[in-house]
C-alpha cells in the first residue's frame, strides 16, 4: 500500500499533494486522493478535516473550486480529499448512470455481492486512508479528525460522523461534521433509494439505521456538533433530493438544540461550487474550532 506521489503544488504556504495507492478496501483497485498540509505541519502533527465530494466528482473538485485551502492554512489544519467511488471495477452497468456506480459510491459499504468487493467507501475513508497516511509518516494527528462534504458527500460526512458516535466507541473518530446541501434523508429521496437498492442486499430497509442521517440523528443522545448550509435556489433541494428540513426536525425532536445542530437556508444560492466556496470559510472555521479544542 505504498503511496505514489503524482503531483505537488505549493499553495497558501503549505503543499497540496496528489497520491495514488492500491486500495484493499476498494478491492485492490488504484485510488487517488489529495492532501493539503499547512506550513505548520513541518513543526509537528496537524489536525485533519476530510472533504467528501458529491455525485460525478473526483478528488479534485474540492481542491480546485472549494476555496478551502486558504482557511485551512490560516487555521493550521490539513484536509484530505478522497475520490467519490472506486474506479475501474469492471462491474456491468457501473458507468451507465451519473448517480450510481462510478463517481457515486455514496460513502457506504456495499452488501450486494455484485458491488461488495469494490464499493466500500466507508471503510476506505474511516479506516484505510488514516492507516495508509500514518504508515507513510505524514504528520497528521488522527486523534483530531472532523469531516465535511457536499451533496452526496454531505450525506457521507453526516452519516460517518453519526455512525462513529452511535456504534463502536472505538470508531468515535470525528469531533464535528458539516455539510453543504447534503442528501440528508436518503431513504426518502430518489438518489438515495436508487443507491441503497443497488448497493445493499437488503435495499432501502438495510440503510435506515446506518446510512440515513435523519434516521440516525433521531436516535442519538450524545451531544453533536453539526453545521449545515443549503441554498433555497438549489434545484435538487426543490426536487426533494436533499430534505434538510427532515433532518432539522428529527434533530430537534431528539433534543439537539441550535448549539448542537445548525441548519441554515441560504437565500437564492444554488448547488454549485459558487455556493460552496461562499460558505466554505464558515465550515472550515466551524470544524477547526473542535479540531483545535
* Footprint of its own copies (CB under 8 A): 9-13, 16, 63-65, 67, 69-70, 231, 233, 268-270, 272-275, 277-278, 281
Is 151 annotated in the active site? Answer: yes
Minimum CB distance to its own copies smaller for 65 or for 117: 65
What CA–CA distance (Å, rounded) separates 117 from 113?
Answer: 7
Minimum CB distance to its own copies smaller for 69 or for 224: 69
Is 271 annotated in the active site? Answer: yes
What CA–CA distance (Å, rounded) separates 125 from 32?
Answer: 12
CA 131 to chain centre: 17
Q: How far is the CB of 256 from its own copies (least distance, A)?
A: 29
Minimum CB distance to its own copies smaller for 25 or for 80: 80
Closest by Cα among 88, 100, 93 to 27: 88
Q: How far is the CB of 148 from its own copies (least distance, A)?
A: 18
CA 43 to chain centre: 28
Q: How far is the CB of 265 from its own copies (least distance, A)?
A: 13
Minimum CB distance to its own copies smaller for 13 or for 28: 13
DSSP 101: B
Environment class of residue 221 by beta-carbon count within 10 Å: exposed (0-12), middle (13-18) or buried (19+)?
exposed
Q: How far is the CB of 269 from its own copies (least distance, A)?
A: 5
Three-state SS at 142: strand
Which of 83, 234, 256, 283 is an active site residue? 234
Strand order of the sheet with strand 140-150?
4-11, 14-23, 29-37, 78-82, 46-52, 140-150, 174-180, 226-231, 261-266
Which of 78, 151, 176, 178 is an active site residue? 151
DSSP 232: T
Three-state SS at 78: strand
Q: How far is the CB of 277 from its own copies (least distance, A)?
A: 7
**Sign of the CA dihedral running 82, 88, 91, 96:** positive
Cell of 202: 437488503
Minimum CB distance to its own copies smaller for 120 or for 181: 181
Minimum CB distance to its own copies smaller for 69 or for 163: 69
Which of 124, 155, 256, 271 is an active site residue? 271
Interacting residues of 1 by C-beta distance below 8 A, sequence separation 6+: 21, 22, 23, 24, 131, 132, 135
Q: How far is the CB of 69 from its own copies (least distance, A)?
A: 7
Q: How far is CA 182 from CA 10, 40, 55, 101, 108, in A?
A: 30, 31, 11, 19, 15
Name the residues annotated as catalytic.
151, 234, 271
Amino acid at each position: 500500500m505504498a503511496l505514489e506521489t503524482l503531483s505537488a503544488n505549493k499553495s497558501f504556504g503549505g503543499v497540496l499533494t496528489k497520491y495514488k495507492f492500491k486500495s484493499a478496501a476498494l478491492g485492490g483497485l488504484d485510488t487517488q486522493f489529495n492532501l493539503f498540509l499547512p506550513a505548520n505541519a513541518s513543526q509537528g502533527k496537524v489536525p485533519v478535516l476530510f472533504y467528501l465530494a458529491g455525485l460525478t466528482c473526483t478528488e479534485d473538485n474540492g481542491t480546485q473550486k472549494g476555496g478551502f485551502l486558504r482557511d485551512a492554512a490560516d487555521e493550521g489544519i490539513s484536509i484530505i480529499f478522497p475520490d467519490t467511488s472506486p474506479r475501474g471495477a469492471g462491474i456491468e452497468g457501473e458507468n451507465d448512470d451519473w448517480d450510481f456506480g462510478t463517481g457515486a459510491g455514496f460513502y457506504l459499504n456495499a452488501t450486494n455481492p455484485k458491488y461488495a468487493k469494490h464499493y466500500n467507501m466507508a471503510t476506505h475513508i474511516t479506516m484505510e486512508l488514516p492507516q495508509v497516511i500514518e504508515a507513510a509518516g505524514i504528520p497528521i494527528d488522527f486523534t483530531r479528525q472532523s469531516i465535511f462534504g457536499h451533496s452526496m458527500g454531505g450525506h457521507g460526512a453526516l452519516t460517518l460522523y453519526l455512525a462513529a458516535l452511535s456504534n463502536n466507541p472505538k470508531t468515535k473518530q470525528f469531533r464535528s461534521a458539516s455539510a453543504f446541501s447534503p442528501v440528508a434523508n436518503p431513504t426518502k429521496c430518489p438518489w438515495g433509494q436508487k443507491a441503497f437498492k443497488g448497493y445493499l442486499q437488503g435495499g432501502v430497509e438495510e440503510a435506515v439505521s446506518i446510512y440515513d442521517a435523519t434516521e440516525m440523528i433521531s436516535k442519538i443522545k450524545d451531544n453533536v456538533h453539526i453545521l449545515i448550509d443549503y441554498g433555497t435556489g438549489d434545484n435538487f433541494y426543490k426536487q426533494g433530493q436533499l430534505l434538510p428540513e427532515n433532518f432539522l426536525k428529527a434533530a430537534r425532536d431528539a433534543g439537539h438544540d441550535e448549539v448542537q445542530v445548525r441548519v441554515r437556508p441560504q437565500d437564492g444560492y444554488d448547488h454549485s461550487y459558487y455556493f460552496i466556496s461562499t460558505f466554505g470559510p464558515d465550515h472550515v472555521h466551524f470544524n477547526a474550532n473542535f479540531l483545535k479544542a
